[in-house]
């Protein structure tokens, strides 16, 4: 499987790096500016990621259907299909890690 950095757009990676660099001395570290992402819970983050994944797959399906009807170009269909494929791959990888973590917890002695 490919790692997530090969799937995610470069702008997102740069944005995350910028937010992480603020933790070491930027305004957020001093307490002047509170980042909205810090108040988001893990459950909310997973819910938003799942909703975005579903939206990406639906948009890809709609673009593929439009391509079959002749309303979308080949390049648009290929881009939408690649987006769908990468979304499904990441979703399956996350699911596998969650199941593996659950199984590890269940194997722990009480």
Element (H, E) at 24: none
pLDDT band at residue 14, thresholds of 50, 70 and 90?
Answer: low
The answer to whether the predicted template modeling score (pTM) of the entire model surpasses 0.75 is no
* 8 A C-beta contact, residue 74 and residue 91: no
Contacts of 66 (CB under 8 A, 6+ apart): 72, 76, 77
Q: What is the pLDDT of residues 16-69, one digit of tens each?
A: 656 665 665 555 444 455 555 568 888 898 899 899 999 999 999 999 999 999
More confident call, 14 vs 59: 59
- The residue extents of the domains of the chain are 1-38, 40-110
Nearest to 45 by CA among 53, 57, 37, 56: 37
Q: In the predicted model, is pLDDT for residue 83 greater than 70?
A: yes
């Amino acid at each position: 499987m490919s790692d997530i950095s090969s799937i995610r757009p470069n702008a997102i990676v740069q944005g995350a790096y910028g937010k992480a660099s603020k933790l070491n001395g930027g305004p957020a570290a001093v307490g002047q500016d509170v980042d909205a992402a810090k108040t988001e819970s893990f459950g909310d983050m997973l819910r938003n990621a799942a909703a975005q994944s579903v939206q990406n797959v639906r948009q890809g399906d709609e673009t593929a259907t439009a391509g079959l009807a002749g309303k979308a170009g080949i390049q648009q269909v290929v881009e939408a299909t690649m987006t769908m494929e990468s979304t499904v791959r990441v979703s399956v990888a996350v699911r596998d890690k969650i199941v593996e973590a659950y199984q590890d917890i269940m194997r722990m002695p009480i």
